[in-house]
């Protein structure tokens, strides 16, 4: 996405309470939408899989190193061919 996080936003979002409530809500959506499909790009996908994307994003945003540094913030400084940055606008139907 085109959002650049800062420490304050991560501290606000990545609380045990927020993560716990998000996990609970995702479970509720997965159960409630088990037989539903939604359109994503040019295809239909099981609706209950979309909440998993939210959880994956939250896990990525809130990940910390063993020294409690925010991995996402550190990744902003990475450069080189070993860093793959997805261009969502190039082929949005893939995402």
Encode pLDDT of 11-45 as tens digits: 999 999 999 999 999 899 888 988 999 998 899 99
**Can you tell me whether residue 21 is helix, strand or coil?**
helix
Cβ neighbours of residue 64 closer than 8 Å, sequence gap 6 or more: 70, 71
Q: What pLDDT is stored for residue 8 in this prediction?
A: 94
Encode pLDDT of 46-67 as tens digits: 988 888 888 888 999 999 999 9
pTM comes to 0.67
Q: What pLDDT is stored for residue 34 in this prediction?
A: 87
Q: 85 pLDDT exceeds 70? A: no
């Amino acid at each position: 996405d085109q959002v650049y996080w800062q420490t304050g936003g991560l501290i606000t979002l990545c609380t045990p309470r927020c993560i716990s409530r998000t996990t609970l809500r995702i479970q509720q959506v997965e159960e409630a939408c088990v037989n539903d499909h939604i359109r994503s790009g040019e295809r239909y996908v099981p609706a209950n899989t979309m909440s998993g994307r939210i959880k994956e994003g939250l896990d990525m945003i809130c990940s910390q190193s063993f020294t409690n540094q925010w991995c996402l913030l550190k990744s902003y400084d990475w450069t080189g061919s070993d860093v793959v940055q997805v261009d969502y606008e190039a082929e949005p139907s893939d995402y």
